[in-house]
Structure 1
């Protein structure tokens, strides 16, 4: 993996790059964290409904429209920039989620002015139950690391070929871990949530999120190709330490 055709990115081992600055990494990292925060704030507060043929009205969490984009960007981060840099982004997203949850809790708890009548609506949108916040953060952390690990390992196994197998395969695992953690942690034993309902929603959300990844595969190819050409490198994690608890690149 030490040479490629002229005009194409050079295949390199991740460890050899060290902390070398890469042109678009900061922008992709910022997009990853922004989509993560917005999908949790805006999407989690609304249950939408769609009229499906032969099924009828089907409710779904609005966050599913945009939250899977975080996994697409996670795939792009690992594929283009390697596991170590993706690891930094996952930790940045986790810390951002924790701070957002703390900030939301503080603002919701502040006593409202008597003249302001929006406290109830504000609490409904931003005052998420601590159990759900905890489940969301745990599921994101574990799911993203599983996604990044699988993609990085598959890239080495496939020698950089068949990108679609890596993006879809890693999403199947990552979203599976995410859903398996989030729904039981958030809703198991909760009022109105039977065990069968938790399982039904878990499977439905997992299938929908993976379907999003499949639909966005052509976009992923375009973005990955552009970034690799602009950065000039194609990173392989052959000697990478895959522990989540490591700060060094």
Structure 2
């Protein structure tokens, strides 16, 4: 598809169509997902906020919510089927990363290499975190995409802000409820009280991120719709998550 006048089309009518920017959005989506699992998910950070005091949070909050913003963009611009394809791509890529992490940590280090202990402390926990992350990600992202696509039909394409925030509340709610108990229950340095507090605070921060980034979402969605020349509605879409065809 190419730029020009936007036209409303059903997702099924675009089966097999080529888009100029879809591959780039998909690559950004998968990249953010992988980096959030490697760099951010396992660290519990803490800042001292005025009037509130110490506020613990998972470091992944700095960029993981961007995957939900991109998920919104993918569903809104390209439709549920292509968003579903990206979710599966991210799912498989994360599993592959987890397998690589396990193999690399398990390899016997050279006798004169001093970094094995530090390497294990950083990447040794990745398999459990990634398992929790992919389960939570799978549930949350599909819920997010499904709710946004259904709300677009119900609102006839109006009120994008309501659709992105509403779908994020559902998707991030599922993500947080599943991820933290699976990843950190019983883990050293993660007492239950801290885990629950971080879970609640993460959910609030993620939704807040979505609200703050709403102008960015509008700008990106508007740009892509104009350049791709379509506005996709999923009125005839098969919403089963167990497909990858577009």
Cα gap change, 1:67 to 1:154, in 2 (>3 Å): same
* TM-score normalized by the length of structure 2: 0.94
* Corresponding position: 1:23 with 2:25: no
For residues 117-171 of structure 1, the C-alpha deviation after alignment (integer angstroms, 9 at most, x for no partner) is 1111111111115433221110011100000000000001010010000110000
- How far apart in 2 are the matches of 1:73 and 1:50? 27
- How far apart in 2 are the matches of 1:194 and 1:127? 19
* Corresponding position: 1:208 with 2:205: yes
For residues 85-143 of structure 1, the C-alpha deviation after alignment (integer angstroms, 9 at most, x for no partner) is 00000000000000000001100111111111111111111111543322111001110
- How far apart in 1 are the matches of 2:129 and 2:59? 16
For residues 205-242 of structure 1, the C-alpha deviation after alignment (integer angstroms, 9 at most, x for no partner) is 10110000000000000000000000000000001110
Instruction: Give the one of 142, 147, 150 matched to 2:147.
Output: 150
For 1:91-110, list aligned pairs within 5 A. 91-110=88-107
For 1:1-249, list aligned pairs within 5 A. 8-128=5-125, 130-190=127-187, 193=190, 195-249=192-246
Q: Report the CA distance between 1:57 and its aligned residue.
A: 3.1
Of residues 187-196 and 133-142 in structure 1, the stretch that sits farther from structure 2 once superposed is: 187-196
Task: State the Cα RMSD in Å.
Answer: 1.6
Cα gap change, 1:138 to 1:147, in 2 (>3 Å): same
Q: Report the CA distance between 1:45 and its aligned residue.
A: 4.3
- How far apart in 2 are the matches of 1:209 and 1:131? 22
Report what 1:3 is aligned to.
none
- How far apart in 1 are the matches of 2:160 and 2:135? 28
- How far apart in 2 are the matches of 1:149 and 1:163? 15
- How far apart in 2 are the matches of 1:24 and 1:80? 10
Q: Report the CA distance between 1:48 and its aligned residue.
A: 2.7
- How far apart in 2 are the matches of 1:9 and 1:58? 45
- How far apart in 2 are the matches of 1:133 and 1:76? 24
Of residues 148-157 and 47-56 in structure 1, the stretch that sits farther from structure 2 once superposed is: 47-56
- How far apart in 2 are the matches of 1:242 and 1:134? 24
Q: Where does the alignment leave 5 or more consecutive residues of structure 1 unmatched?
A: 1-6
Q: Where does the alignment leave 5 or more consecutive residues of structure 2 unmatched?
A: none
